Amino acid sequence: MEKKSPSIAMVPCPGTSHLITQIEFAKRLVHLHPDFHVTFLIPTLGPPSPSMNTILQTLPPSIHFTILPHINPKDLPPNADPAALMLLTVTHSLPSLSQALASLISQTHLLALVVHTFSVDAIEVAKQFNLPAYVYHTSCATVLAFTLHYPKLDDDGIVVSKKFGELELKEPLKLPGCIPLHAHDLSDLVRSDFHETFLHVCTRLYTADGILMNSFVDLEPEPIRALQNVASVYPVGPIVQTKSNISSNSSECLTWLDNQPRNSVLYIAFGSGGTLSQEQINELAYGLEMSGHKFLWVVRVPNDGAANSSYLNGAQKDNNPLVHLPKGFMDRTKDQGFVVRSWAPQIEVLRHESTRGFLTHCGWSSTLESMMSGKPTIVWPLFAEQRLNAALLNDGLKVALRPKMNEKGIVEREEVSRVVKCLMEGDEGKEMGRRMEVFKNAAIKARSEDGSSTSTFESLVTKWKNFKI
């Protein structure tokens, strides 16, 4: 790497999906500014998974990586939730990160450190070198607004109780520029077992020199405007993958899609870490069958928890999730649907002309990918900030349906069938499709040469280039 080349370093948190979105940011940066170099300093809980290795070995020449020494899982608390594991892995990696940064500074013209939201402890290392530190917030402006507000939540006088898995408010939370936020949309973020981790992240955000946000002005104008009054935020989105790593196995579903009528298929996937219980898998399967509509479903092994922490290190314990489908389901729906084990080439599936809509866990990357493809959604949030994302899509942007759960937290088969029919054949589904097409065009415009997100990138890079270490 040339010494005079301007460069930044990026610190992701564990989990391939978290790395991917930061890589896409780096690709966008070097596309707009070919003179830039980016180096990833990667904390891990173990050796890279095969999928991570594939991603890292196919990076453009101006994007480099260093895998920091692995953290021993035995040094971390047992039974910690995924968010705490991500944060603690980075925290334990700070000594090796400091050494890596010192080496980079001696070899390159390093201008800034950009860290993931759950890598915020790395900010203190940047400060040791008098290096500007920025947080790349991979979710929407509404989630960022709540995150920055969280330390003051109990001071508002609207919290009645806050217990494990439960939040009661006197009235919806009204943050500047945001839709009213209801208790059930915030519950996963205020769990008692998550409180200390989340509070730590929120507090550290205020020490950053700026927050880069994977959203764009035309998508969330009011929340972004309000945030810019209280913090240095840079809406640089949408940052999304442009293609998937298609294998011979995964290409089978694309071949199946090629043989389906235009706008006839519902795509169902719950992200890289989302799982359903056995009861919920059964209800979803029967509901899809009852709807009569075509579907392409990415199935994972059931799990009573909504998130499986094994995705942080790529561990897989069961390679045949299809055995957990209801008896006879595959035979009865062989002409109606296509079932994929664990993973599908999501970008290509969403762009396909046969795909009509997307039943999603509402992770923000999946949300933006759906938006860039112009596909309306059925939102089925599972954990973390996904309920807030779902509220934005359903209540705010009006591009999503949200199925109702019973008292046990299960979406029953009749409700599955109802929302599928509504999206695939109803007037509400057609209107959502029209609205999503508007946001698709706005997203394309934001990324254009004179678009709002491109202009934000330009101002950010100008600021970096003017920095003298």
Residue 379 has a pLDDT of: 98
Asked whether residue 146 is assigned to any structural domain, the reply reads yes
What residues make up the domain containing 430?
Answer: 251-443
Single-letter amino acid, residue 283 = E
Q: What is the pLDDT of residues 150-194, one digit of tens each?
A: 999 988 889 998 876 678 999 999 999 999 999 999 988 888 778
Residues 432 and 457 in one domain: no
Asked whether residue 58 is assigned to any structural domain, the reply reads yes
Task: Give the closest residue to 460 by CA, choosing from 229, 230, 136.
Answer: 136
Asked whether residue 173 is assigned to any structural domain, the reply reads yes
Residue 332: phi, psi to the nearest 5?
-70, -30
Tell me how far apart the alpha carbons of residues 202 and 255 are, in angstroms, rounded to a whole number: 45
* Domain CATH number, residue 16: 3.40.50.2000
Asked whether residue 364 is assigned to any structural domain, the reply reads yes
Residues 219 and 345 in one domain: no
Residues 299 and 267 in one domain: yes
Residues 113 and 218 in one domain: yes
Tell me how far apart the alpha carbons of residues 35 and 14 are, in angstroms, rounded to a whole number: 28
Asked whether residue 94 is assigned to any structural domain, the reply reads yes
Residue 35 has a pLDDT of: 93
Taking 70 as the pLDDT cut, the residues of the chain under it are 1-3, 164-165, 246-250, 305-319, 468-469
Residue 312 has a pLDDT of: 58
Residue 449 has a pLDDT of: 96
Residue 1 has a pLDDT of: 46
Q: For residue 138, what are its two tokens?
A: 């991979």
Residue 308 has a pLDDT of: 52
Number of structural domains in the chain: 2
Residues 437 and 460 in one domain: no
Q: For residue 10, what are its two tokens?
A: 């990026």
Residues 360 and 452 in one domain: no
Buried b (16+ CB within 10 A) or exposed e, 111-125: bbbbbbbbbbbbbeb
Residue 74 has a pLDDT of: 87
Asked whether residue 68 is assigned to any structural domain, the reply reads yes
HEC letters along the chain: CCCCCEEEEEECCCCHHHHHHHHHHHHHHHHHCCCCEEEEEECCCCCCCHHHHHHHHCCCCCEEEEECCCCCHHHCCCCCCHHHHHHHHHHHCHHHHHHHHHHHHHHCEEEEEEEEHHHHHHHHHHHHCCCCEEEEECCCHHHHHHHHHHHHHHHHCCEEEEECCEEEECCCECCCCCCCECHHHHHHHCCCCCHHHHHHHHHHHCCCCEEEECCCCCCCHHHHHHHHCCCCEEECCCCCCCCCCCCCCCHHHHHHHHCCCCCCEEEEECCCCECCCHHHHHHHHHHHHHHCCEEEEEECCCCCCCECHHHHCCCCCCCCHHHHCCCCHHHHCCCCEEEEECCCCHHHHHHCCCEEEEEECCCHHHHHHHHHCCCCEEECCCCCCHHHHHHHHHHHCCCEECCCCCCCCCCCHHHHHHHHHHHHHCHHHHHHHHHHHHHHHHHHHHCCCCCHHHHHHHHHHHHHHCCCC
Residue 285 has a pLDDT of: 98
Quick check: pTM over 0.75? yes
Residues 267 and 181 in one domain: no
Residues 36 and 69 in one domain: yes
Distance of alpha carbon 82 from the chain centroid: 14
Tell me how far apart the alpha carbons of residues 325 and 253 are, in angstroms, rounded to a whole number: 18
Tell me how far apart the alpha carbons of residues 310 and 299 are, in angstroms, rounded to a whole number: 16
Residue 333 has a pLDDT of: 98
Residues 266 and 399 in one domain: yes
Asked whether residue 241 is assigned to any structural domain, the reply reads no
Residues 28 and 170 in one domain: yes
Contact 19, 26 (CB under 8 A): no
Q: For residue 45, what are its two tokens?
A: 């809980």
Single-letter amino acid, residue 401 = L
Contact 6, 36 (CB under 8 A): yes
Residue 360 has a pLDDT of: 98
Residue 189 has a pLDDT of: 86
Q: What is the CA angle 206-25-397, rounded to 5?
A: 75
Residues 180 and 87 in one domain: yes
Distance of alpha carbon 333 from the chain centroid: 31
Asked whether residue 243 is assigned to any structural domain, the reply reads no
Residues 174 and 144 in one domain: yes
